[in-house]
């Protein structure tokens, strides 16, 4: 027999919770009380101590508070990066990665179970898309890790498994919830959304005024090569993508980040560097060079330190802001999809 799920209070907006209170004929302040309890992180409706027993019983008939469950944790001792494998209510496995920096804790959250974008260097792509995650499931990753560590998350990066802009409505719901002053009150400036380049949704995001930091996976300045590495490029060619990125910068007044995973002999040549500099000329942006994590695709070899430095120099000489990313978590395969793949092999 199929499991019967009660509706989850966690993930509802204040308006949705207020409607529940109104429908039950409760005083108007009751909705705000329930909302605060839910996002203070109570695990059970019975913990809402300022609600009368009758209201708690009525709520429990239809609702529950459900959070993702921790199935497994792997820590990289040197950097204290922790990868969490989490289970959804319908038994899907998703991942979140906690990165500890001097300036605070950053959590890399997943937006989908699996992913349909099929980027060649990504472990999440191998199983395809299982389903979109709800806003509650994205937010729960933050709550569960904070509860587990007893430490606050100060930055969120949407770079786990899934393409957040392929799950647009829930992603916006998540961004609104996590920045609500009565939930986690996280500044949108401390949130980075990473996309493989869904240009039309970048435009929508710019118009939505969410104001989050945008990070775009580029990986090649050439259309034909980008199509081979990232099939999404067929639907959103470089020209369209760059138009959307310029629009985002102009609308939000925020600098955009381009992620560029360096693969030896594939996209790290002088010609690639020059073409990349030309493509980004005049745009307020930062290029983040990432030595590719070979665990995600053993056939791809990371550029060596000399090649990375030479590539960075081409860009900086053309006045393109450039950094090389520290690879936290490489020993625990902290790239999307990898812990889950390992877990499936073990069971
Ligand atoms: S890199 Fe991101 S968009 Fe591409 S397949 Fe992996 S999770 Fe999906």
Question: Which pLDDT tens digit goes with each residue over 209-221?
Answer: 899 999 999 999 9
8 Å CB contact between 153 and 146: yes
Which of 257, 253, 250, 244 is CA-nearest to residue 201?
Answer: 244
Its pTM stands at 0.90
Residue 77 has what pLDDT?
86
Give 192's strand partners: 157, 213
Q: Residue 111's CB: how many other CB atoms inside 10 A? A: 28
Over residues 244-296, the pLDDT tens digits come to 999 999 999 999 999 999 999 999 999 999 999 999 999 999 999 988 776 66
> Is residue 122 lining ligand 1, measured as CB closer than 6 Å?
yes
Q: Which atom of ligand 1 is nearest to 123's Cα? A: 6
* CATH 3.20.20.70 domain span(s) along the chain: 69-346
- 3-class secondary structure, 225: helix
Which of 142, 127, 133, 137 is CA-nearest to residue 164?
Answer: 133
In this structure, the strands spanning 213-217 and 256-262 are parallel
Give 69's strand partners: 87
Query: Is residue 285 annotated as a catalytic residue, yes or no?
Result: no
Q: Where are the beta strands (DSSP E) in the chain?
A: 7-8, 63-64, 69-76, 81-87, 93-101, 104-108, 112-114, 129-132, 155-158, 191-195, 213-217, 256-262, 285-291, 321-324
Which of 179, 182, 174 is CA-nearest to residue 190?
Answer: 179
How many angstroms separate the CA atoms of 75 and 282, rounded?
Answer: 41
CATH topology of domain 7-64: DNA polymerase; domain 1 (1.10.150)
Sign of CA dihedral 200, 203, 207, 209: positive
> Is residue 95 lining ligand 1, measured as CB closer than 6 Å?
no
Residue 326 has what pLDDT?
60
Residue 1 has what pLDDT?
55
> Is residue 153 lining ligand 1, measured as CB closer than 6 Å?
no
Q: Which atom of ligand 1 is nearest to 195's Cα? A: 3
The class (CATH top level) of 69-346 is alpha beta
Exposed/middle/buried for 159, CB within 10 Å: 0-12, 13-18, 19+? buried
Regions of the chain short of the pLDDT cut 70: 1-4, 294-297, 326-347
Distance from chain centroid for Cα 220: 22
Residue 337 has what pLDDT?
43
Query: Is residue 95 annotated as a catalytic residue, yes or no?
Result: yes
Name the closest-CA residue to atom 6, ligand 1.
122
Kindly name the residue from 47, 137, 336, 346 that is annotated as catalytic.
336
Q: Residue 88's CB: how many other CB atoms inside 10 A? A: 18
Tokens of 159: 């770079």
Which of 212, 211, 213, 217 is CA-nearest to residue 199?
Answer: 217
- 51 Cα–ligand 1 center, Å: 44
> Is residue 212 lining ligand 1, measured as CB closer than 6 Å?
no
List own/partner pairs for 252-256 with CB under 8 A and 24 or more apart: 252/206, 252/211, 252/214, 254/211, 254/213, 254/214, 255/284, 255/285, 255/286, 255/321, 256/214, 256/215, 256/216, 256/283, 256/284, 256/285, 256/286
Sign of CA dihedral 295, 119, 242, 189: negative
| CA dist 126 → 2, 22, 31, 223 (Å) | 28, 46, 43, 23
- 3-class secondary structure, 5: coil
* CATH 1.10.150.530 domain span(s) along the chain: 7-64
């Amino acid at each position: 027999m199929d499991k019967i799920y009660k509706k989850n209070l966690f993930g509802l907006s204040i308006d949705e919770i207020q409607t529940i209170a109104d429908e039950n004929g409760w005083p108007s302040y009751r909705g705000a009380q329930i909302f605060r309890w839910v996002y203070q992180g109570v695990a059970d409706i019975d913990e809402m101590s300022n609600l009368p027993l009758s209201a708690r019983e009525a709520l429990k008939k239809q609702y529950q508070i459900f959070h993702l469950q921790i199935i497994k944790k792997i820590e990289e001792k040197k950097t204290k990066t922790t990868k969490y494998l989490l289970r959804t209510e319908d038994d899907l496995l998703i991942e979140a990665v906690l990165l500890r920096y001097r300036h605070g804790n950053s959590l890399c959250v997943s937006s989908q179970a699996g992913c349909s974008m099929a980027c060649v260097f990504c472990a999440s792509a191998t199983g395809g898309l299982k389903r979109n995650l709800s806003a509650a499931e994205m937010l729960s990753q933050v709550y569960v890790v904070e509860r587990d560590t007893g430490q606050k998350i100060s930055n969120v990066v949407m770079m786990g498994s899934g393409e957040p802009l392929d799950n647009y409505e829930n992603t916006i719901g998540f961004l609104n919830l996590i920045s609500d002053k009565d939930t986690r009150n996280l500044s949108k400036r401390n949130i980075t959304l990473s996309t493989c380049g869904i240009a039309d949704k970048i435009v929508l995001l710019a118009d939505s005024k969410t104001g989050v930091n945008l990070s775009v996976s580029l990986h090649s300045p050439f259309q034909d090569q980008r199509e081979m590495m990232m099939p999404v490029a067929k639907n959103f060619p470089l020209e369209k993508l760059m138009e959307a990125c310029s629009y985002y910068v102009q609308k939000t007044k925020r600098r955009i980040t381009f992620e560029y995973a360096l693969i030896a002999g594939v996209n790290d040549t002088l010609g690639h560097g020059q073409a990349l500099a030309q493509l980004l000329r005049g745009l307020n942006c930062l290029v983040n060079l990432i030595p590719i994590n070979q665990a995600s695709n053993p056939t791809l070899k990371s550029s060596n330190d000399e090649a990375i430095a030479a590539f960075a120099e081409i860009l900086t000489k053309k006045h393109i802001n450039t950094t090389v990313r520290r690879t936290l978590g490489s020993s625990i395969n902290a790239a999307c999809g990898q812990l889950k793949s390992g877990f499936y092999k073990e069971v």
